[in-house]
Amino acid sequence: MRYEILYRPSYSVLKVELDPGESIEAEAGALMMIEGDVEVKTRGRGLLRALTTGESLFVNIYRAKDLPASLWLAPPIPGDIMYIELDGSKGVIVNDKCYLASHGDVKHRVVWRGLRGVFGGGGLMWLHFTGVGGVWVNAYGSIIEREVGPDEKLIIDNVHLVAMDDTLEYDIRRFGSLKTLLFGGEGFVFTLRGTGRIYLQSRNPTIWYARSRS
């Protein structure tokens, strides 16, 4: 398997080249183009998750048949795409709205964030990926990768966090007063401690979604 991220960072597209028998999982609706002969299977992801996050009810599994094939995948919002490798030593927690695709011997489970996630604008669910393989994430704007040191404490706006290593400890709390929440343009934040990597998006996607609906 080989991949290439094209037209980055503003309008990134993921191109994945599959050898015969290789497969990837991708968000339903992300497919842009198939080159070659590919078998497609659709798998349900759960009604509750779809209703609470605004994501599709399904994901698609794409497998190259007897000859090599290529997939072109495009995220729903303008911005960058990044690959996060998993080597089995640790996992990664991904914002459900930022998940694009994954491959390899990778499993995921839903991480429940509670109602604070709704008011913070980031949805209710996050996905915890573990195993050996990799995950592609997308963002609104650029993706900023940062290492968190053992003596650091970071406070990150809820909607800007794309993904983080599962070695980090975190909690979610309201930022500022109720007046700030209602009128100040801020909501809930993540407080992070420990060691690991974080991935941030440089723009607020809730603003983009609101404008696209108006």
Tell the residue number behind the tokens 């964030």, with chain if given.
113
pLDDT mean across residues, the chain: 84
Per-residue model confidence (pLDDT) at position 112: 62
Global pTM value: 0.84
- Whole domain around residue 156: which residue ranges? 2-213
Nearest by Cα to 205 from 80, 112, 87, 111? 80
Compute the Cα dihedral for 75, 81, 87, 88 and give only its sign. negative
Per-residue model confidence (pLDDT) at position 53: 44
Mean pLDDT of 3-21: 97
Chain Cα centroid distance, residue 118: 17
Structure tokens at 197: 């990597």
| Exposed / middle / buried, residue 24 (Cβ in 10 Å: 0-12, 13-18, 19+) | buried
Tell the residue number behind the tokens 């195993």, with chain if given.
131
* Euclidean distance between CA atoms 140 and 87, whole angstroms: 27
| Exposed / middle / buried, residue 12 (Cβ in 10 Å: 0-12, 13-18, 19+) | buried
Of residues 177 and 35, the one with the higher pLDDT is: 35
* Euclidean distance between CA atoms 209 and 203, whole angstroms: 12
Whether residue 140 contacts residue 204, with contact meaning beta carbons closer than 8 Å, is answered with yes
At 21, which amino acid appears?
G
Whether residue 197 contacts residue 135, with contact meaning beta carbons closer than 8 Å, is answered with no
Nearest by Cα to 101 from 181, 20, 192, 22? 22
CATH code assigned at 148: 3.60.160.10
Per-residue model confidence (pLDDT) at position 178: 44
- What does DSSP assign to residue 11? B
pLDDT band at 173 (very low <50, low <70, confident <90, very high): confident
| Exposed / middle / buried, residue 147 (Cβ in 10 Å: 0-12, 13-18, 19+) | exposed
- Total count of domains within the chain: 1
Angle at 140 between CA 148 and CA 167, to 5 degrees: 25
Query: Per residue in 95-152, pLDDT tens?
Result: 988 999 999 999 988 876 554 444 444 455 789 999 999 999 999 999 999 999 999 9
- Compute the chain's Rg from CA coordinates: 17
Query: What are the residues whose beta carbons fall under 8 Å from the beta carbon of 187, sequence distance 6 or more?
Result: 119, 120, 121, 157, 158, 159, 174, 175, 181
